[in-house]
């Protein structure tokens, strides 16, 4: 039984304390030695034509716990969503923990339990991991790195590139923007939490599967994380040499997030999300795609937000609520650090 109430350097030494930490925290949460291997895991993959999809990400969010989530939930969702955006079916995750000496053991257990719960909800398994403990002051409480693997069918192999996009294609979004970044900001500043303002952090694999069944010719998917919606659409327009036109009034934005953005001077288009997916679909499949998104719990407020055009190549234009036209560009510098 682990006796200390906080993480000690001995927990990262590879000795008895480290073994106890693995057995009583990680193995207990991730399913026991048959499901979780601290070093390397032997994995099963689907049979038939396809490719292995592989991604990795690191998470340094501050604070570690915020309305609607925590760093553990975020680590699973972020990696699962990167795989889903490529068209792959997420299957397995690894998890690496860098822990500062003195970090409360109860908080670590809460984070790991959250990871395990989110992984089960996402239909993935955390199968291997690593733990390092550093001196006090050498990192900020807890950092997590995750890697994810999934299976990508040959039919969806080009989904992440957007090369199939054509003028006339339509842009869909599965719900309101700016909720994650503003929820983290409110928690960081110690503001009274609004019942309406919680992070949208969620695993989107199931949502993407429903979308692709309804719209099998979907051209492109991307989760709108750092840089927000603006980063996705501007990078897409510049990369393809096509124009994109957005309708400001069509972009979902909740009142709580809107109010906090106005209070702090943030543009919602640039605020990070952790449960929002941008899809580009051919116009003939847009009604079915929108219906599929709205039929999923994570897409109830899905909306058609814009279109691809051959005009103004490489630029994104936003038709504002008052009828004007505004150019949308990439974020300049850092707007809100450590939100993931």
**Which class for 275: exposed (0-12), middle (13-18), buried (19 or more C-beta within 10 A)?**
buried
State pTM to two decimals: 0.93
| CATH number belonging to the domain at 9-156, selected among 1.10.10.10, 3.40.640.10, 3.30.1330.10, 3.40.190.10 | 3.30.1330.10
Tokens 């058609």: give the residue: 304
- Please give the class, per CATH, of domain 170-328: alpha beta
The strands making up 142-152's β-sheet, listed across from edge to edge, are: 51-59, 142-152, 89-100, 125-134
| Nearest alpha-carbon partner for 251 in 231, 236, 230 | 230
In order, the DSSP letters of 278-337 are EEEE-GGGHHHHHHHHHTSGGGTT-EEEEEEESSSTT-EEEE-TTS-EEEE-PPPS-SS-
Q: Are 58 and 144 in contact (CB under 8 A)?
A: yes
Domain ranges (residues) in the chain:
9-156, 170-328
Report the SS3 class of residue 223.
Answer: strand
pLDDT tens-place values along the chain, 340 residues long: 566 788 888 888 778 888 888 888 888 888 765 677 767 777 888 877 889 999 999 999 999 999 999 999 999 999 999 999 999 999 999 999 999 999 999 999 999 999 999 999 999 999 999 999 999 999 999 999 999 999 999 888 888 889 999 999 999 999 999 999 999 999 998 876 556 799 999 999 999 999 999 999 999 999 999 899 999 999 999 999 999 999 999 999 999 999 999 988 999 999 999 999 999 999 999 999 999 999 999 999 999 999 999 999 999 999 998 989 999 998 776 677 889 9
Residue recorded with tokens 């990439």: 330
What are residue 87's phi and psi, to 5 degrees?
95, 0
Identical fold, 9-156 and 170-328: no
């Amino acid at each position: 039984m682990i006796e200390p109430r906080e993480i000690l350097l001995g927990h990262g030494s590879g000795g008895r304390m480290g073994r106890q930490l693995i057995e009583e925290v990680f193995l207990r949460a991730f399913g026991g030695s048959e499901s979780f291997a601290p070093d390397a895991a032997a994995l099963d993959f689907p049979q038939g034509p396809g490719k292995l999809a592989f991604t990795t990400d690191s998470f340094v969010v501050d604070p570690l716990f915020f309305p609607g989530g925590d760093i553990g939930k975020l680590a699973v969702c972020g990696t699962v969503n990167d795989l889903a955006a490529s068209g792959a079916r997420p299957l397995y995750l690894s998890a690496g923990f860098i822990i500062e000496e003195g970090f409360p053991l109860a908080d670590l257990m809460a984070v790991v339990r959250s990871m395990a719960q989110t992984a089960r909800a996402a239909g993935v398994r955390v199968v291997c991991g690593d733990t390092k403990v550093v001196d006090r002051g050498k990192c900020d409480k807890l950092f997590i790195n995750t890697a994810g693997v999934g299976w990508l069918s040959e039919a969806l192999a080009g989904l992440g590139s957007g090369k199939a996009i054509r003028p006339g294609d339509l842009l869909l979004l599965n719900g309101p923007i700016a909720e994650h970044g503003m929820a983290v900001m409110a928690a960081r500043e110690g503001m009274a939490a609004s019942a309406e303002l919680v992070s949208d952090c969620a695993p989107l694999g199931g949502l993407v599967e429903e979308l692709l069944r309804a719209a099998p010719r979907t051209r492109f998917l991307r989760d709108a994380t750092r840089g927000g919606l603006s980063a996705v659409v501007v990078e897409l327009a510049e990369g393809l040499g096509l124009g994109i036109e957005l309708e400001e009034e069509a972009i979902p934005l909740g009142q709580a997030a809107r109010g906090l953005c106005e209070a702090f001077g943030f543009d919602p288009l640039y605020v990070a999300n952790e449960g929002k997916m941008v899809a580009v679909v051919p116009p003939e499949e847009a009604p079915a795609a929108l219906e599929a998104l709205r039929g999923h719990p994570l897409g109830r407020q899905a909306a058609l937000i814009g279109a691809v055009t051959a005009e103004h190549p490489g630029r994104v234009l936003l038709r504002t609520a008052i009828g004007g036209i505004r150019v949308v560009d990439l974020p300049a510098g850092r707007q809100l650090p450590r939100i993931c």
